[in-house]
């Protein structure tokens, strides 16, 4: 019920949301060879021999605890317990873990026979390590790293940054509107030996 003062403002907001979603995907699984993408964190880590690799499986509620345990077991002792250490997990791993928390294995009875014990959107942890749902990660993929070891960069003052709405009616008589968004971005990590890649 609060319309933007101009339709172009709404259009820019809508397209910006779609661009943000695509950027999130690029941050985690982008491939520089694809048009409009840059190498994502998991792409870079997979090509780095110093990164600690853990073989992935198809994660379900039945095996998610064992799979997360394998990731935690691979985290170097110097990192375990650090404040900004997270395991970045895909959506399907998060769903499987929440289901495993609620079901308490085959009995599905929980504490005091109250069945599922997961309420709302509380913070997830595993073995004392915070879990973060990274929507851009592919299914059955995860990465354990310190937040301070992961970097996203973009050129804020670059000439290549541009957002524009072009009304094509004045140019070709059509009833079309085009949106132009240009920017530069990239990701990198600092120390590969302090990252665990589950893939």
Residue-by-residue DSSP string for 157-175? T-TT-EEEEEETHHHHS-S
Query: Is 122 a residue whose pLDDT tops 80?
Result: no
Query: Is 120 a residue whose pLDDT tops 80?
Result: no
Query: Is 159 a residue whose pLDDT tops 80?
Result: no
Task: Using pLDDT thresholds of 50, 70 and 90, give the confidence band for residue 119.
Answer: low
Instruction: Give the Cα separation of 120 and 132 in Å (integer).
Output: 15
Instruction: Give the Cα separation of 82 and 144 in Å (integer).
Output: 12
Instruction: Give the Cα separation of 114 and 103 in Å (integer).
Output: 10
Task: Using pLDDT thresholds of 50, 70 and 90, give the confidence band for residue 141.
Answer: very high
Provide, rounded to the nearest whole percent, the portion of the chain with pLDDT above 90: 65
Q: How far is CA 182 from CA 14, 21, 164, in A?
A: 16, 15, 9
If one counts every other C-beta atom within 10 angstroms of the C-beta of residue 147, the result is 13
Task: Using pLDDT thresholds of 50, 70 and 90, give the confidence band for residue 99.
Answer: confident
58: alpha, beta or left? (left if phi > 0; alpha if psi -120 to 50): beta
State the pLDDT at residue 7. 81
Instruction: Go through the chain and tell me how many residues it has.
Output: 199
Instruction: Give the Cα separation of 64 and 59 in Å (integer).
Output: 6
Question: Which of 155 and 46 is assigned the larger pLDDT?
Answer: 46
State the pLDDT at residue 169. 84
Burial of 197 (0-12, 13-18, 19+ CB in 10 A): buried
Task: Using pLDDT thresholds of 50, 70 and 90, give the confidence band for residue 117.
Answer: low
What DSSP character marks residue 126? Answer: E
Query: Is 78 a residue whose pLDDT tops 70?
Result: yes
State the pLDDT at residue 11. 87
Query: Is 65 a residue whose pLDDT tops 80?
Result: yes
Say which residue the tokens 């709302």 belong to.
120
Q: Where are the alpha helices (DSSP H) in the chain?
A: 7-29, 41-46, 64-74, 91-103, 169-172
Evaluate whether 198 touches 81 at the Cβ level (below 8 Å). Answer: no
The whole-model pTM stands at 0.84
- What's the rounded mean pLDDT across residues 132-136? 95
Crossing angle of the two packed helices 91-103 and 64-74, in degrees rounded to 10: 120
């Amino acid at each position: 019920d609060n319309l933007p003062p101009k339709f172009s403002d709404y259009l820019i907001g809508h397209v910006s949301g779609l661009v943000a979603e695509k950027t999130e995907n690029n941050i985690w699984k982008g491939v520089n060879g694809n048009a409009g993408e840059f190498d994502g964190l998991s792409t870079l880590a997979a090509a780095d021999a110093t990164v600690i690799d853990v073989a992935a499986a198809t994660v379900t509620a039945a095996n998610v605890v064992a799979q997360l345990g394998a990731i935690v077991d691979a985290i170097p002792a110097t990192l375990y317990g650090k404040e900004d250490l997270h395991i970045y997990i895909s959506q399907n791993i998060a769903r499987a873990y929440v289901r495993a928390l609620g079901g308490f294995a085959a009995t599905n009875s929980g504490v005091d026979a109250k069945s599922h014990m997961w309420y709302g959107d509380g913070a997830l942890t595993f073995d004392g390590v915070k879990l973060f749902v990274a929507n851009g990660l592919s299914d059955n993929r995860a990465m354990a790293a310190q937040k301070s070891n992961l970097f996203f960069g973009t050129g804020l003052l670059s000439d290549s940054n541009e957002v524009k709405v072009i009304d094509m009616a004045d140019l070709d008589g059509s009833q079309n509107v085009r949106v132009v968004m240009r920017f530069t971005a990239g990701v990198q990590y600092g120390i590969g030996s302090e990252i665990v890649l589950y893939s």
